[in-house]
Structure 1
């Protein structure tokens, strides 16, 4: 039987626990209400209305349960039909303002750029970008301007495209050769398009970055020699998968001190392997350069005197960025374009007739692109329907501003839903249908790379837009020139996506026949 002292200690202990719990709850409630009142008074000071809020939010976690899948751009687009082109959601402790039309997106990227030029990255992306050490993910600072200038002058700009044209032509010839060999050995067998296109695109990226396509590489830090396929997996596939890894602490920054070991170990493992392979690539090419062999490539130019202020880690990241972006987004666009053309025989034949009329029996070349408007329309319509990057990496409003006639308080995160912009029924007739003809009505200039929002706008416009167009358009043109394309049974329904970009979940399987 408990003594009076035991009962006293039990009651006292319970009272203490209750006091602590109530104190903690009161503190949380105070912080929560303080944030609410602060936002309320800020909106009162502004003459503009506050952004509409998506309903269904729960205490603490906000709208997170409504974004369970890893394709939030589709949910955002559905909400735009109910809440309008601009609305806000709660993602844990953060307020996310979502933009879903071209007009309000361009306002954010151009007119109001100075108020929201910083990037807001997840914990996974902060690790994988080495704290924003990438052109696409860095804040708009002097560092960003310097590295963008470097990549344009060495890899992605107009002059660089002329210098590296031989690599693109070799890539097209290699693909054509492989497809013809497959037709000879297995004429009735379905072809995995990605098995042909992805390795050639990866080889092109390596030539641009380190001067040669690497078939095998000894990686001292991994203690083994790895194949080209393993290099591709480590540098591209694993990183694109890791980039969408969700860390619940992203939504509750005041709990960042709580460990999340499984997530951290996975991402740091991906990062370690990426760095090990990139260092091995760099060291091999440094030895070649030291021996007196000079090749026109990004690495050689980054090691030159013009960029000596860059650290080795920064050089590693800039080289890797070029590899992963060349290898992924251009594949996404080209694979979806060939899917749509193989599915739609009449439009495939229309493109073939245009190519035959302009090029005759010669291979399509880059100088002819301005004379091939339907080929350009196929490219832009594929970018519109299958936006390779459906949501622009989040931006952060570091001061009060306005968008779409609404007040945007400082501290808001801005999500530009490119997919939503390109599915806007007010701008695009039958937006979910693939119709290249919509780009032939004379309202777009034939040389305009920014017909859709796929490449962004303003100071942060995509640096790789010209290269993407040259690779994809010539690849699509050459493939349709030389072969008839047909989907295999069941392929028409394989339209699901995966990853940070709209990567086709299932590789494209087609049957091809040589043209007469």
Structure 2
């Protein structure tokens, strides 16, 4: 879709509209227009359109990504900002992130201590990010040899995969209602069934956690903190809010981080000189015998700009989540009537040769020192902008940069063949690689210290 919109913008201009029966959609691919959207029109465009997926999966559009701007959304945002994604709260989950990355490194070291071994990284990155997020929420691991209920874990992952596949504006009937009639309502019936299964599963997690809340080992989880709030203000922290926050974190936080890691490693394998520069920075700043930690990230600016450049070329959401105008407004020279859906084509903007020098090349230096061309104007939409920017951006950056830094420090890396990694994009709202990433890795001496 984002490629189609890019082609249309090249023909009709960086702001164009499409009419889908009752829906008017405006697509924006201009940095000046994006600035206008998220400054002058930020409140007007802080609303979300109502789609069938949001109705049946996201608790009637009441989760934080789907709910429209207002008192209820502000209440959810405060919970998220203070109880989940504040620095103090994220710091309490550092041990989970470090432990899961350590487990990944040990798993990769099997067979690679003496020589290079072929590894498939996509599934490993999926397991890493899924375990981190779910452990933060419930305290339970879903992948690994020590998982107690592997069948439950499998069902959970399959449900979350379905949620991601149905997320966003994936139903043509949301734009052309006659298609729902032609379809006989089959798509909506699937959503209703999925929504019920998701709710039953997440409710079981909540009930199970509630029955064990006196267990000292399980008090430092997101659900525990929300239970504490529920005891004080039960009407403001219902089970439905807790379930919605858990569902939002898992569906929005797992795929984005794992996909970003896969693209980052793919880019480094195709640009080994950049990988070596990142390793040199790590060894210069913290030493060859030490693992990078989250407290070191401020000393590793090159590692961080690799993250930025990865998300410029391969944004976590190539089309930002849809906004809906709550009132008449103006974008550029165009009048935008109330109810219009506004889509920002981040992918097209990030590759626009009028905005970027050599836009298709992987050049982390464009973000160097926080003052390079990458941070100029509103052309780089890392995790959205304005009031509806992703509240979990900091967590995603911590996960990806820490994992990437430790993978660089712990292993020698090279491509499976002399040919460059295939960078073809697959389908999905998080823009995965079409071909799962395979690479050759060889453990460096520091891995033996980790295993011991």
Per the normalisation by structure 1, the TM-score is 0.78
CA shift, 1:253, in A, is: 4.0
Following TM superposition, by how much is the alpha carbon of 1:428 offset from its aligned partner in structure 2, in angstroms? 0.9
Residues 1:231 and 2:159 are matched in the alignment: no
Find out whether 1:323 has 2:270 as its counterpart.
Answer: no
Residue 442 (structure 1) shift: 5.4
Does the 8 Å CA contact 1:97/1:412 hold for their aligned counterparts?
yes
Identify the range of structure 1 (250-259 vs 423-432) with the bigger mean alpha-carbon deviation: 250-259
In the alignment, what sits opposite 1:376?
Answer: 304
Following superposition, the deviation at residue 170 of structure 1 comes to: 0.9
2:360 to 424, 432, 436: 432
Q: Deviations over 1:407-455 (max 9, x none)?
A: 212232211111122122221112122111111165259999x982021
Where structure 1 has 5 or more consecutive residues not aligned to the other structure, the ranges are: 1-71, 219-224
Gaps of 5+ in 2: 446-452
Instruction: Render the CA deviation track for 1:291-334: whole Å, top value 9, x for unaligned.
Output: 67651111112222355223323321211111222211111111
1:296 aligns with 2:296: no
Query: Could you tell me how far apart the structure 2 residues matched to 1:182 and 1:283 are?
Result: 42
Structure 1 511/295 Cα, relative in aligned 2: closer, same or farther at 3 Å?
same
In the alignment, does 2:334 pair up with 1:409? no
Checking the alignment, whether the CA contact within 8 Å between 1:217 and 1:281 is kept in structure 2 is no
1:254 to 1:411, Cα distance in 2 relative to 1, 3 A: farther
Paired residues of 2:44 and 2:326 also in contact (CA < 8 A): yes
Partner of 2:449: none
Q: Which residue of 2 aligns with 1:34?
A: none
Query: Is the 1:117–1:397 Cα contact (8 Å) retained in structure 2?
Result: yes
**Alpha-carbon distance change, 284 to 76 in structure 1, aligned in 2, over 3 angstroms:** same
Q: CA deviation at 1:488?
A: 2.2
The answer (yes or no) to whether the contact 2:46–2:387 under 8 Å persists in 1 is no
Provide Cα deviations, 1:381-419, integer angstroms capped at 9, x if missing partner.
Answer: 011110011112222223221112322122322111111
Equivalence map 1:153-172=2 (5 Å): 153-172=82-101
Q: What is the CA deviation profile of residues 309-364 of structure 1, one whole-angstrom value per residue up to 9, with x for unaligned ones?
A: 23323321211111222211111111100110011111111111111111112111
Call closer, same or farther: CA 1:89–1:446 in 2, change over 3 Å: closer
Residue aligning to 2:414 = 486
- Indicate the SS of the match to 2:26: strand
Partner of residue 51, structure 2 = 122
The DSSP-based 3-state class of the residue aligned with 2:421 is helix
Aligned match of 1:335: 262
Higher relative contact order (CA 8 A, sep 6+): 2
The aligned counterpart of 2:272 is 345
Partner of 2:186: 262
Indicate whether 1:279 and 2:206 are aligned.
Answer: no
* Contact 1:100/1:418, CA 8 A, preserved across alignment: yes
Q: Superposed, which structure 2 residues align to 1:297-316 within 5 Å?
A: 297-304=221-228, 305-309=231-235, 310-316=237-243
- The 5 A counterparts of 1:354-503 are 354-360=281-287, 361-440=289-368, 443-444=371-372, 452-489=380-417, 492-503=421-432
Q: Give the superposed CA RMSD.
A: 2.6
Preserved contact between residue 101 and residue 420 of structure 1 (Cα < 8 Å) = no
Query: What is residue 77 of structure 1 aligned with on the other side?
Result: 6
1:361-390: CA deviation from partner (whole Å, max 9, x where unpaired): 211112221221211110000111100111
Alignment check: 8 A CA contact 1:217 1:227 kept? no
| 1:189, distance to aligned residue in structure 2 (A) | 4.0
Q: Using a 3 Å threshold, how does the CA distance of structure 1 residues 480 and 411 change in structure 2: closer, same or farther? A: same
1:509 to 431, 438, 441: 438
Cα separation, 1, equivalents of 2:165 and 2:135: 24
Contact 1:101 1:424 in 2 (8 A): no
Structure 1: distance between partners of 2:128 and 2:67: 29
- Give the Cα–Cα distance (whole angstroms) in 1 for the partners of residues 106 and 127 of structure 2: 14
Retained in 2: the 8 A contact 1:217–1:280? Answer: no
Residue 131 (structure 2) pairs with residue 203 (structure 1): yes
Structure with the greater alpha carbon radius of gyration? 1
Structure-1 residue corresponding to 2:448: none
Contact kept, 8 Å, 1:156 with 1:464, in 2: the verdict is yes
CA contact (8 A) 1:117 1:140 kept: yes
In the alignment, structure 1 residue 249 sits paired with structure 2 residue 177: no
- Tell me whether 75-84 or 384-393 shows the greater mean CA deviation: 75-84
Instruction: Answer with 198-207 or 379-388: which moved more.
Output: 198-207
Q: TM-score, normalised by structure 2?
A: 0.89
Instruction: Tell me how many residue pairs correspond in the alignment.
Output: 436
What is the 5 A alignment of 1:56-205?
A: 72-184=1-113, 187-205=115-133
